[in-house]
Amino acid sequence: MPQVLEFKLPDLGEGLTEAQIVRWLVEVGDVVAIDQPVVEVETAKAMVEVPCPYGGVVTARFGEEGTELPVGAPLLTVAVGTVEPSGSQTLTGAGPGAGSGAAAVAGSEPSGSGNVLVGYGTGAPPVRRRRVRPEGLSAPTASAAAPAAALPAEAAVSARVADDVRGPVAVVSPLVRKLARQHDLDLRQLAGSGPDGLILRADVESAIRSMPSAPVAAPAVTPGASPAGTAGPSARAAGERIPLRGVRGAVADKLARSRREIPDATCWVDADATELMAARAAMNGAGGPSAGPKVSVLALLARICTAALARYPELNSTVDTEAREIVRLPEIHLGFAAQTERGLVVPVVRDAQTRNAESIGAEIARLTEAARTGTLKPAELTGGTFTLNNYGVFGVDGSTPIINHPEAAMLGVGRIVPKPWVHEGELAVRRVVQLSLTFDHRVCDGGAAGGFLRYVADCVEQPALLLRTL
């Protein structure tokens, strides 16, 4: 029996509740294989290609590129059916079990998915994608169809939203759907003139012409309200408006929450990084059996952070506000700030306390490349316990970073530049860096924070101190 299956936006994990459509990977009329990616979406964590758990013909898509959909909203509908005796590629009419406005593809399609999606099953091999001409689409005539009539503005909008939620109607062309949306026209109120009640563009255009023109109402002016063109207390500010969505929206929410909940404080110190840079040059210049991958400054600083956190574990913690408890965390999952075209992201190096500088550097390089290409997984952007922020790459010396909620501290590193410095009692030109630590004052007092920062500075100035913890 032919059947139309509705594929809804699945739960992508990590507590995500919505996603924005970035790019459709299929068109209406395409035949998709089971587990074939059908749409690319952007969540607050990463860019994700969403696979479809069904195989068949795409009969409808819900949402244009740039549309933000909640989890559970329809993404598209896929028609599946049985093989015609002649083996020709035609579409057969959907039976009662196929759902409203159903269409089915001629050609047996398995309906199981090998991909684990919340709310969808597993199993069955993929099939080859091919293009199917939609002329054979058959759908029942819209029930209780009535001549198109004008709807009030609120009713039209409600009808449009309901159409998006309830699923497919007897329309193949996305242009027809778009035309109807632009004029707030409920397609379920139209009787299609095409085969078996298919709604054509001519039907929509005819309904639009029959709609009475809405009179332009003068804006109501309430006593005390500012006249048009005058800036009042509630007037919307003029200028370009950029929606806070995706990564930018997630960053805005997290930073605002951090400022609301965390009583932070910042301390900083200048350090002579000459010896650290010399040690790095020696590592990267080694040949023969001692040769290895290049070690970055960020990797060395990350290794210093893990050694410092082992001495001051109160900074590797979080606050359980409901239980009124400080939770000291046994593992160090070290986040590092990375600027990408999509905005600021903080990939996380898992179990950094078990890694040496070379291993940390390799993982930072892998995560940085994934961040730049937009292929980071949500799990690689969450679960951090401490963050390292190298803002020196922007050519600045100091900063007071905002803590990455719900962590308890963040170490900021400025640029390393030649400066006059007193070294061994004499004035010399040394390579100096400013280090700043922003910490949650609930988890520790200034003594612990100052001790942590001083230890980091000492390791920067005398890298041999790290030999104690190797």
Bond before 70 cis per omega within 30 degrees: no
The values of phi and psi at residue 382, to 5°, are -135, 165
For 270, the 3-state DSSP assignment is strand
**Nearest to 276, CA basis, from 306, 308, 305, 301:** 301
Q: What is the DSSP string of 151-198?
A: --HHHHHHHHHHHHHH---S---HHHHHHHHHTT--GGG----SGGGP
d(CA 66, CA 158): 21
Contact criterion met (CB below 8 Å) for 412 and 298: no
Collapse the DSSP code of 280 into the 3-class scheme (helix H, G, I; strand E, B; otherwise coil) and give the result: helix
Q: Is 25 exposed, middle or buried (0-12, 13-18, 19+ CB in 10 A)?
A: middle
Measured N-to-C along each axis, helices 297-311 and 274-285 cross at an angle, to the nearest 10 degrees, of 120
Which residue out of 183, 333, 423, 441 is catalytically annotated?
441
Tokens representing 31 are 């035949």
441 in active site: yes
Q: Is the dihedral of CA 437, 438, 443, 447 positive or negative?
A: positive
Can you read off the two tokens belonging to residue 439? Answer: 């910490």
DSSP string, 283-322: HHH--GGG--S---HHHHHHHHHHHHHHH-GGGSEEEETT
CB contact burial 89-110 (16+ within 10 A = b; e otherwise): bbbbbbeeebbbbbbbbbbebb
H or E element in which residue 19 lies:
strand 18-24
Residue with tokens 């809804």: 8
Joined together, the tokens standing for residue 175 give 């242009």
For residues 224 and 146, give the distance between their C-alpha atoms in angstroms, rounded to a whole number: 46
Tallying the residues shown for the chain, one arrives at 470
Pairing relation of β-strands 334-336 and 338-340? Answer: unpaired
- Strands 426-440 vs 417-423: parallel, antiparallel or unpaired: antiparallel
The three-point CA angle 426-301-307 to 5° equals 100
Element (H, E) at 80: strand 74-80
Question: How far apart (Å, rounded) are the C-alpha atoms in residues 385 and 467?
Answer: 24
Catalytic site positions: 441
